[in-house]
Amino acid sequence: MHGAGELNVARKQNMEIEFECKKCGGSFACDVGKVSLPEDSLLPKFEKEIICPKCGVRSIDDVFLTELGQSQLTAATLDFGTENLADFGDNGFYEGKCQACDVLQPLNDLGFCEECAGKLDRDMIRKRDWAYSESAFGVPDPELENLRKRIIKHYGEKLELIAPENTKKKQAKKKTPLTREET
């Protein structure tokens, strides 16, 4: 049952989404039932509880969405009919050439393979571009820096996909006007 001010967006009765438990660090798939988006919140609301196999019932603040979980949640909340999803595989990817590595393989909605999408997501976290990171979705503000520290600890501080910004600006050579002798 959904209250006033909630948009019921899931098309399936049993929506399975992959999470990572913040307590034990384990990844798990969980049937959350129907998904709704309250108008007064940026976080989705699930019909069923999130249950970690090791830790038990968890709140949305106690879990991270994995990359696959983000794709699953996006697929659940996009206003697509099944006719629009015909080209997508079971995991929300379609076949094509990756924009980053130029290899023919399954791609996400941005045109990246799973490996390059992960690199882009980690780069967004490194740069603190939380709004563009799938993994930062639903993470409370106080936890974002901890997420960034985990990414840097596991993958390093160097950007993987995004070209680093050039902080040194090239100084233009001053052009001296030609004298009559030089012309």
| Structure confidence by residue, pLDDT tens digits, 92-108 | 567 888 889 988 888 88
| Same domain, yes or no: 70 and 94 | no
Whether 176 maps to a domain, the answer reads: no
**pLDDT tens-place string over residues 28-87:** 999 998 888 777 777 888 889 999 999 999 998 999 989 888 888 877 766 444 444 445
Number of compact structural domains in the chain = 2
**What tokens does 58 get?**
């968890």
Identify which has the larger pLDDT, 110 or 37. 110
Among candidate residues 22, 46, 80, the one where a domain is terminated:
80
User: End of a domain among 80, 108, 138?
Assistant: 80
Structural domain contains residue 179: no
Residue 157's pLDDT is what?
Answer: 93
Q: Does 72 lie in the same domain as 91?
A: no
pLDDT band at 166; cut points 50, 70, 90: confident
